[in-house]
């Protein structure tokens, strides 16, 4: 079905994608949702349409992550300008964040009717993208006490061995993201930022590197691979009388 995990918060659905039950083949099998990795674009479009159906959306806005902290407020579907944060108040418009080892985080205020999706790898930790996203969603009408975050599957700290140089870049900014001198804990860094902001969270536990049903850039080891990620949508069904 393409669903790795899902949760409903009020009228908001969050689905973490696995790589099953899509149209792509080979390195991209099967549910690749990225159009920049060398996959057949027609299959990518069909896969994105499947994702739209998973959350019952009318339209879907697709992130173009750039490992920065730019935020876009979206009100229509399609491929977005480069950005690692999408925010919307539009019902039935799904937001799709792409990743393959990086972490995606959904931010939800079902009560105020505003949702967001965030993409962060180690560069996102350095750029403090999640903090920027939280500040932006609060400025867009969310209330801190209503906000709930959902953390998607990502590469775990044990599997994410990096250079000491990279650790040195992250460490002064987000010490909770450091497992040791050669390992970065992306989800640990994300959780620390949520706790600092007094935001409740749930986590879809899972390591993209270890679980073969998830796309992993690192497991692909230089070969092309697809992207999965997480989709969030605030559903409001029209009432007809
Ligand atoms: Zn792992």
The residue ranges of every structural domain in the chain are 3-234
Residue 36 is given by DSSP the state: S
pLDDT at 90: 97
What is the distance in A from the centroid of ligand 1 to the CA of 211? 8
Cα-based torsion angle of the residue sequence 106, 120, 19, 179 in order, rounded to the nearest 10 degrees: -110
Query: What topology is assigned to 3-234 in CATH?
Result: 3.60.140
What is the distance in A from the centroid of ligand 1 to the CA of 182? 14
What is the distance in A from the centroid of ligand 1 to the CA of 160? 7
pLDDT at 1: 76
What is the distance in A from the centroid of ligand 1 to the CA of 157? 7
pLDDT at 119: 98
CA 123 vs. chain centroid, Å, equals 15
Confidence (pTM): 0.96
pLDDT by 10s per residue, the chain, length 241: 799 999 999 999 999 999 999 999 999 999 999 999 999 999 999 999 999 999 999 999 999 999 999 999 999 999 999 999 999 999 999 999 999 999 999 999 999 999 999 999 999 999 999 999 999 999 999 999 999 999 999 999 999 999 999 999 999 999 999 999 999 999 999 999 999 999 999 999 999 999 999 999 999 999 999 999 999 999 987 655 4
What is the distance in A from the centroid of ligand 1 to the CA of 208? 7
pLDDT at 237: 77
Q: Across the strands, what pairs with 148? A: 108, 200
Give the Cα separation of 189 and 122 in Å (integer). 9
Find out whether 4 and 220 touch, Cβ atoms under 8 Å. no
Nearest to 232 by CA among 78, 133, 109: 109
pLDDT at 178: 98
pLDDT at 219: 96
pLDDT at 239: 55
What is the distance in A from the centroid of ligand 1 to the CA of 65? 23
Residues 6 or more apart whose CB falls under 8 angstroms from that of 217 comprise 100, 101, 225
């Amino acid at each position: 079905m393409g669903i790795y995990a899902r949760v409903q918060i009020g009228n908001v659905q969050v689905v973490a994608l696995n790589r099953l039950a899509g149209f792509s083949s080979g390195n991209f099998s099967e549910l690749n949702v990225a159009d920049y990795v060398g996959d057949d674009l027609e299959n990518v479009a069909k896969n994105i349409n499947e994702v739209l159906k998973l959350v019952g959306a009318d339209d879907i806005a697709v992130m173009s992550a750039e490992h920065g902290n730019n935020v876009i407020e979206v009100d229509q579907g399609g491929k977005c300008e480069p950005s690692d944060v999408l925010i919307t108040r539009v019902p039935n418009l799904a937001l799709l964040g792409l990743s393959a080892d990086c972490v995606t985080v959904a931010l939800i205020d079902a009560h105020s009717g505003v949702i967001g999706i965030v993409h962060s790898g180690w560069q996102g930790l350095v750029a403090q993208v999640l903090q920027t996203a939280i500040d932006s969603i609060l400025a867009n009408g969310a209330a801190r006490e209503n906000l709930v975050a959902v953390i998607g599957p990502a590469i775990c700290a044990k599997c994410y061995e990096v250079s000491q140089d990279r650790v040195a870049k992250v460490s002064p900014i987000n010490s909770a993201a450091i497992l040791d001198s050669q390992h970065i804990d992306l989800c640990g860094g994300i959780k620390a930022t949520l706790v600092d902001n007094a935001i409740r969270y749930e986590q879809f536990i899972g390591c993209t590197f270890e679980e073969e049903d998830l796309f992993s850039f690192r497991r692909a080891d230089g070969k092309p691979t697809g992207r999965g990620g997480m989709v969030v949508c605030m559903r409001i069904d029209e009432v007809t009388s």
